[in-house]
Amino acid sequence: MSDRIFGAFGLMLAIFFAWGTLQIQESFLSDTVGPKTFPLLIASLLGLSSFAILVRPGPEPVWPSLGRFVEILAAVVVMVLYVEALDILGFVFATTLATTYLSWRLQSPLWQAGLVGVGTAVGIYVIFHLLLGLSLARGPFGF
């Protein structure tokens, strides 16, 4: 039953997405592909896959226990706090904290989770900020 609900929701979302795409006003200076092509392709793929789920659902899922559900909810809270902490702590510190917590909850020992957190934050900072020149949230120390 849950797959059918998911499929119906996805199909409605695809229809809404396609309708919104068709509302885009095109300029006479647009290229041959136009601004509608990619969104319509995405809407088509979403609609086809949602229709397939709606017509041929899988077996009923096994829902997580209450304890596991609380852990999932805690991960969502950490991600929301991460977004809020970006402006205050900066990208490197906020990413280190969030990645460390999530790695720890995925059964890594705390010291390994800390290394993963630092490595992930510094690695992304080096690639996206230093190499590609993208702007990331600056913290109290400028990174």
User: In the chain, where are the structural domains located?
Assistant: 2-55, 66-131
Please state whether the predicted TM-score (pTM) of the whole model is above 0.85: no
What value does the mean pLDDT of the chain take?
90
Mean pLDDT (whole number) for 21-42: 80
Q: What is the dihedral of CA 67, 72, 76, 82, to 10 degrees?
A: 90
Please write the tens of the pLDDT for every residue from 57-105: 888 888 889 999 999 999 999 999 999 999 999 999 999 999 999 999 9
The sign of the CA dihedral 121, 127, 128, 134 is: positive
